[in-house]
Amino acid sequence: MQLIESKKVSQAWVYPEQVKEIFNYKDPSKKLRAFREFVESHPHYYKWFKQCWLGKSIKDFQYAFIPLAHFWENQSLLEAGSRSIKFDLSEIERIRITYGL
């Protein structure tokens, strides 16, 4: 008999209007577009999340908050191709604690 340990990971989804409030950013559309482009060009970077956004058009997209927050905090390094930034379970836990998820 094997003992399996599991850990609950919350999946919070946010709309662009909520992103404005959370990050106190007036127009997040460019950053959200950069996030989508980064995820499309690096599909395995956020491997812990099956989808990073949902929706059929840009107007009704919902974004997975944890990958979005990680990208928001590290955008310049991630777009520059830095390999020093890792997205692992400890980073997920840090974001959950920081943003109260």
- Can you give the pTM of this predicted structure? 0.79
Q: Is residue 76 part of a domain?
A: yes
Q: Is residue 42 part of a domain?
A: yes
Q: Is residue 82 part of a domain?
A: yes
- Tally of structural domains, the chain: 1
Q: Is residue 80 part of a domain?
A: yes
Q: Is residue 61 part of a domain?
A: yes
Sheet holding 53-54, edge to edge: 13-14, 62-64, 53-54
Tens of pLDDT along the chain (101 residues) come to 777 776 665 558 888 888 888 888 888 889 999 999 999 999 888 888 888 888 887 778 888 889 999 999 998 889 888 878 888 888 888 888 888 77
Q: Is residue 5 part of a domain?
A: no
Strands 53-54 and 13-14 come out as unpaired
Nearest to 66 by CA among 58, 74, 55, 77: 74
Q: Is residue 64 part of a domain?
A: yes
Q: 51 lies in which domain range? A: 13-99
